[in-house]
Each structure stands twice: as structure tokens, then as C-alpha cells.
Amino acid sequence: MNHKSCQKTMKTISLLKFFLLFLFNLFLFVSCEKKDDANDYFYNLTQELSPIYKEPDKIKAIQKREFTKFEKTKDEKYLISSRYTEYFLKEHNGSKQIPVVFELLKHNNDRYAFISMICNFNLALELEHTSPKLAMQFIDNSIKFDQKLNKTYYISHLYHAKGRFYYNDKNYPKAMYYFQQALKNLKPDDTLYIASMHNNFGLTYDKSGKTGLAIEETKKGIKILESKKNLNQEEIEFLNSMRDNLGGYFYKLKNYGNAEKILLQQFEYYKNKKDDHLSIISSEKIFDLYITTGQSDQQKKIVDYLANIEPQVNNISDKIKLNEIIQRYYSGNNQLKELKVTSEKLTNLYHAFDDKSKKNVQEITDNLNSLIIKDIDNKYRYDIQFQKKQKLWLSSLAILCIIILTIIIFSVKNKIKNEKEIAQKQRELFESNEKILEQDRSFQKEKIKNLHRTLSIKIDAEKILLENLKKTKRVNVDSEQVIRDLLLKVNNLILIDKRSYNSFTEGTMENKLLMDELSNRCPDLTKKELKLCTYFIMNLSSKEIAALENTTTGTVRVYKTKIKSKLGLIKDDDLSTFLNSI
């Protein structure tokens, strides 16, 4: 292969590599784009479901819509989206929600990072109080999946949750760190969550003994929401929650005037709103303040309010807190009869709360154990199936290898056999050609010998003819006899020339092939020169060739020199040897 061919080949290979690389990158881009689109789809679905989490009929309609899409397209994305919708139907029932989330995780199998992220997030929140360590593992998994996405959908909320877990564990430095990370990842228009982070800073500072800083951060959060127009209900509720916390901080710093003003305002707000849960929490703070400041009348008003709403309170935790406040009042005022009744009631509530807690923990534990056992069982079955498939695959591979090896051996044997047969035939053909060539060589040698003899006879005859012609010049010579002798000699010369011509024409085909080859090699050779080459190849002398061509030996030598020059031969090169090598 020449240099240009190599360059062309290298260019072709380079272009092929570039094309394959382009196709590979295009495939990656399309694959990533497709998954990104799916993750965006799940995010938008979450945005659609979140506002209607308390409306099961609407959620069921969306679930049906997603499953219909799956039936039409057979796209797994829609099957996962329909199962994801089911998660919202069980949102307020942790024991039932956990199995749904686990099944969704298993079916998704980390295919879509958004689903893996949201499922781990949900499990972390569900196990926050019952299994804090496990909750931390799930929140870490959720953060990893969120970071894998091109967009960080919920990273600020995930950091917030992780900070809260550390806060619950009383690791306040780490809690503060993750609250700060959450704030960094929030958008400027996320006013509610920005205010929430400042509220979390306040809570963390308060637990760290820095109540002054807690007040500053809480005021920042309150100011953010107060400066916003047209607050929605969630923002209004959170604003009041921060005010409630602010009142508690003033109380802790013994600024009872500001504390009472804020806490009483919040208590009245929740009471008028008829929010039993928040009004009980708020009443505890104002009740503590009234005890500290010795306001018995105000204490009684709080207790009367709590006693009045107790029958309608269904949550056991709220009932316990409510009765604990009443118990403290009776204890402080030595109302032993009422204290006994309240204490008995509290004892029953504690038992009920313990039973409920145990039941919830047991349900969660049972669900987790069931899922773990099911997962182990599935894994065991999968391992058995995998081993069977592996054995079958290995057996098939072994059989295939044996078949391929057998075919290769058979092919190699056939190839060797065929090569031997071809070699044997070529050897026989070569030997046969050698014999033919040897016979032809002997034949040609014999022809050349005969031609030399004929030429020798012709030369002798010509000499005699010349002598007879000279006799005709002499006087007293019988002219008729001389003429008869001359006619006889001429006739002999004609016979000799005829025999020479016949001998020469026997090699006409070989002469033609020789002249064709010489013409191809040296187009400058004339027809006369080509014809003379047929004499030179028979190694005839210049004298013999001159006799055949009726020319002089000098002319033959000149032609011979010209032919050697045209063929690129030097003076010492033998022309006959060269022509015989062709």
C-alpha cells in the first residue's frame, strides 16, 4: 500500500471514529434528555397533587388518568406515575403509606431519580420520631438522588429536614449548618421558606442558650412575611407560629410585658379560629407566664377554657397536654378532689397514648419486617432463578464452544487436506510442465542445429555457385554445362531456403509472443528489429542472419547494437541470454 493509500485509509478510520463518537454522545444526550423529561413530568405531577392532598376523589381521577396513559402507550413512566399518585391517597396514614412507598421504590429501581428522591424523603419523615437513625439514612439517600438530577428540585427542603433531625437529636451546630444550606438553596421569591429558615435559626439559638439571637432571627422571619401583600392561609398560620415563638423567647428573658402581649394575642387568635391543637399549645405558654407573674384570675380563665373544649378534643396528645395544664392549676391551688379526678384521667390518657404509640410502632415495624422478609424472599427466588439461568447459560455456552471448536477443527483439517491435494496437483502439473518444457527445449535445440546445418550447406552451395559463375568468364569452357550446373545449384538453394523457412515458421506462435512482450517492454523497437530478435534468441551468428535476410553482417551488427541500446543493455550484456530470459 502506497503513502497516499495509507493517508486515505487513516482519514477514513478517523471519520468513522468521529461518527461513532458522535452517535454515542447523541445516544447519551437523548437518553439523559428523556430521563430529565420524565423527572420533570413527576415534578409537575407533584405540583398538581400537592394542593389537593385532602381531596381523594380528585387524586383518584388523576391516578386513573395516569394508568390510562400507561395502557395506551405501555410506557413504564405512566405506570410509575399512577403508583406515585396512590402515595398521596395514603399521605395521612403512615402505617399504610410506608408499604406503598417501599413498593414504589422497588418498582422504580432507581430508574427515575426524582421518584427515588421523593420516596426516601417520605420514609425519612415517617420514621423521624420512631426510628431517627433510619430516618437519617433515608434523608441522606434522598439528598444523593436529588444531587444526581440536573435540577435540584427539593434540595433546600431536604437540607431543612436533615437540620431538623439534628435539632431533634440536640446536635445544634449541625442543625444550624443544614438550616443555612437550606437557606442558600432557596429562591428569592420563596418568602415562606426563607422566613421558616430564620425561624429555625431562632429555635436553634434558643436551644443553644442564645435567646437574644433567637429573637433577632425570629423578628427577621416575621418581617419577611409582614412585608408581603396578600398572604395565603399557610403563610398566615406560619406568621402566627413565629409570633408565638417570639413571645416564648421574651418570657425566657423575663420580659414579661412583651411576652404577655404577644402570647395573649396569639392565644386569642387560635381560640377565635377554633384551632384546638394550636390554642392548647398557646394556652400552655400564657398559663406558664401567668403562674410566673402570679395572675391567678387569668390562670382560671385559661383552665375554664380548656375544660370547656376538652370534650371536643380527639387527639390524645392534645388531651394529655390540656389535662396537664389543668392538673398544674389544681395542684397549685390545692384543689385535691379535682386534682385526683384529673390525675386519674391523665393516667388513662397516658395508657391510651402508650397503647396507640405501641400499636403505631408495631404496625410500622410489622410493615417494615414484612417488606424486609418479602424482599429477602424475592431476592432468594431471584438468586435461585439467576443460578438456574446462569447454569443454563454456561451449559449453552459450553455446548456452543464445543460446536465451534469442532467446526474449527473440521475446517482446519479440510483446509489442510485441500491444501495438500492442491499442492500435490501443482507438483504433478509442475513436473508435467517440466517434462514438456524439456522436450520442447530439446526439440528447439534440434531445430536450431538443423538450421545451422542448412545455413552451412547454403553457404557452401553459394560458394560453388560463385565459383561456377566465375568459370563463365573463362575461355574454352562449356557454357551449357556451366549453366546446367548453375540451375542445379540454384534449385538446391531454393530447396534449402524452403526448408529453412519451414523450420523458422514452426516457431511462429512463440515468435509472436516474444514480439508482443518486447513491444510492451520497448515500444521503440521497429518491425525489422523485432524480426531480427527472433534470430538472436536462437543464438544465430551475424553471418547466418545476413544469409537468411540477404544483407551484410555489418548491417546485422548495427541492428544488434541498436536493439541492445533500446532494451537498456550494456555492451558486455549478451542479447541472446536476455531474450531467452523473457
Q: What mean pLDDT is reported for the chain? A: 80
CATH code, residues 514-582: 1.10.10.10
Nearest to 226 by CA among 198, 248, 203: 198
Q: In the prediction, which pLDDT does 160 show?
A: 96
Q: Which one has a higher pLDDT value, 357 or 543?
A: 543
Q: In the prediction, which pLDDT does 135 show?
A: 92
Q: In the prediction, which pLDDT does 386 show?
A: 63
Most confident of 14-28, 92-106, 325-339, 476-490: 325-339
Domain regions of the chain by residue span: 514-582
Q: Which one has a higher pLDDT value, 436 or 264?
A: 264
| Beta-carbon count within 10 A of 353 CB | 16
Q: In the prediction, which pLDDT does 495 show?
A: 56
Q: How confident is the model at residue 479 (pLDDT cuts 50, 70, 90)?
A: low
Residue 120 scores a pLDDT above 80: yes
Q: How confident is the model at residue 11 (pLDDT cuts 50, 70, 90)?
A: very low
DSSP at 497: H
Residue 447 scores a pLDDT above 70: no
Q: How confident is the model at residue 129 (pLDDT cuts 50, 70, 90)?
A: confident
Residue 408 CA from chain centroid, whole number: 35
Euclidean distance between CA atoms 114 and 155, whole angstroms? 11
**What is the rounded average pLDDT of the residues 64-75?**
93
Q: Which one has a higher pLDDT value, 509 or 250?
A: 250
Q: Which one has a higher pLDDT value, 62 or 451?
A: 62
Which of the residue ranges 20-24, 182-186, 230-234 would you say has the lowest mean pLDDT? 20-24
DSSP at 573: S
Residue pointed to by grid coordinates 531445430: 447
Residue 139 scores a pLDDT above 80: yes
Distance between the two ends of the chain, CA-based, in angstroms? 28
Q: In the prediction, which pLDDT does 4 show?
A: 42
pTM of the model: 0.57
Which set of grid coordinates corresponds to residue 354?
402508650
Q: How confident is the model at residue 150 (pLDDT cuts 50, 70, 90)?
A: confident
Q: Which one has a higher pLDDT value, 350 or 359?
A: 350
pLDDT tens, position by position, 164-174? 999 999 999 99
Q: In the prediction, which pLDDT does 275 show?
A: 87
Q: In the prediction, which pLDDT does 179 show?
A: 96
**What is the rounded average pLDDT of the residues 450-462?**
62
Euclidean distance between CA atoms 350 and 323, whole angstroms? 11
Most confident of 109-113, 450-454, 526-530: 109-113
Q: In the prediction, which pLDDT does 3 show?
A: 43
Residue 9 scores a pLDDT above 60: no
**What is the rounded average pLDDT of the residues 350-363?**
74
DSSP at 474: S
Instruction: Tell me the percentage of the chain whose pLDDT exceeds 70.
Output: 75
Residues 6 or more apart in contact with residue 565 via CB below 8 angstroms:
none
| Cα dihedral value 61, 66, 68, 72, nearest 10 | 160
Rg from Cα positions in the chain: 58
Residue 481 scores a pLDDT above 80: no
Which of the residue ranges 60-64, 67-71, 207-211, 427-431 would you say has the lowest mean pLDDT? 427-431
The per-residue b/e assignment along 480-494, b for 16 or more CB within 10 angstroms, e otherwise, is: eebeebbeebeeebe
pLDDT tens, position by position, 289-321? 999 999 999 999 999 999 999 999 988 889 999
Which set of grid coordinates corresponds to residue 133?
437513625
DSSP at 310: G
Residue pointed to by grid coordinates 412507598: 101
pLDDT tens, position by position, 70-94? 999 999 899 999 988 887 876 555 5
Most confident of 14-23, 57-66, 421-430, 532-541: 57-66
Nearest to 216 by CA among 238, 235, 198: 198
Query: 3-class secondary structure for 161-192?
Result: HHHHHHHHCCCHHHHHHHHHHHHHCCCCCCHH
Q: How confident is the model at residue 143 (pLDDT cuts 50, 70, 90)?
A: very high
**What is the rounded average pLDDT of the residues 334-340?**
89
pLDDT tens, position by position, 544-561? 788 777 788 889 888 888
Per DSSP (E only), the strands in 177-282 are none
